[in-house]
């Protein structure tokens, strides 16, 4: 059975652990570089990217995570998507640079801070998982403003990419771990075997 690490310095890592177990893999919480040993993939959860970045620096985890992502699949959701991006704005901050996207933090503004929306994923996503619309939970979400040539949009909400794949990595600006739809985690698990 594959083992997925969930970065557990801050944020909603527990919900991801449950989602991974529902999807049929083992999960383990990661709080140090040694915790990455033997993992097949890693999830960087939602939370507060500035706080996570501060903790990643304190734990000397930035370089180990870049190294891990150079060889294994990483799923970044919401704050995790911000951390794996190549380029962060509002304001500019350091990131892991694993997925070639430009992402703007807190981009939906205060009035529409958080919401649940139904999106129709791209046909490709539906054929690789299963058909149907997807419930997406946005919480002070970022917006992906630029998608690099090597990256592929798998779902959009109001014309902006919300689920993007680049090679072995996957990013979502919403929280797939907070809805009942298992497909984002299921797709991520497929990547562990590719
Ligand atoms: N607003 C947060 C940030 O900028 C992300 C919110 C979330 O992960 N739900 O890091």
Which pLDDT score is estimated for 111?
59
- Joined together, the tokens standing for residue 5 give 């690490």
Query: Which atom of ligand 1 sits closest to the CA of residue 138?
Result: 9
pLDDT of residue 113: 78
Burial-class residue 33 by CB neighbours within 10 Å (0-12, 13-18, 19+): middle
Evaluate whether 143 touches 173 at the Cβ level (below 8 Å).
yes
Can you give the pTM of this predicted structure? 0.97
What per-residue confidence (pLDDT) applies to 112?
65
Instruction: Give pLDDT < 50 ranges for the chain.
Output: none
Tell me the C-alpha distance between 72 and 171, whole Å.
14
Within 6 A (CB) of ligand 1 lie 46-49, 78-79, 82, 105-106, 139-140
Cβ atoms of residues 39 and 28 within 8 Å: yes
Ligand 1 atom index nearest CA of 105: 4
46: Cα separation from own chain's centroid: 8
| Residue-wise pLDDT tens digits, 64-90 | 999 999 999 999 999 999 999 999 999
Rounded Cα distance, 7 and 141, in Å: 19
Residue having the nearest C-alpha atom to atom 2 of ligand 1:
48
pLDDT of 157: 96
The active-site residue, picked from 72, 78, 165, 185, is 78
Count of positions (residues) in the chain: 194
Which residues, in sequence order, are CB contacts of 48 under 8 Å at separation 6+?
10, 11, 79
* Residue 169 among the catalytic residues: no
Closest CA to 137 of 53, 28, 19, 7: 19
């Amino acid at each position: 059975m594959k083992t997925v690490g969930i970065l557990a310095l801050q944020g909603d890592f527990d919900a991801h652990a449950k989602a991974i177990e529902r999807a049929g893999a083992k999960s383990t919480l990661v709080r140090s570089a040694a915790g990455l040993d033997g993992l097949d993939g890693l999830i960087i959860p939602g939370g507060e990217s500035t706080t996570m970045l501060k903790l990643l620096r304190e734990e000397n985890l930035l370089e180990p995570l870049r190294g891990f992502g150079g060889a294994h699949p990483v799923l970044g959701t919401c704050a995790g998507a911000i951390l794996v991006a190549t380029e962060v704005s509002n304001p500019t901050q350091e990131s892991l640079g694993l997925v070639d996207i430009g992402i703007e933090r807190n981009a939906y503004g205060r009035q529409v801070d958080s919401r649940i929306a139904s999106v129709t994923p791209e046909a490709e996503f539906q054929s690789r998982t299963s058909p149907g619309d997807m419930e997406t939970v946005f919480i002070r979400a970022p917006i992906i403003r630029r998608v690099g040539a090597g990256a592929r949009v798998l779902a959009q909400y109001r014309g902006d990419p919300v689920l993007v794949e680049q090679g072995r990595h996957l990013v979502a600006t919403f929280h797939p771990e907070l809805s009942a739809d298992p497909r984002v985690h299921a797709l991520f698990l497929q990547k562990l075997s590719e």
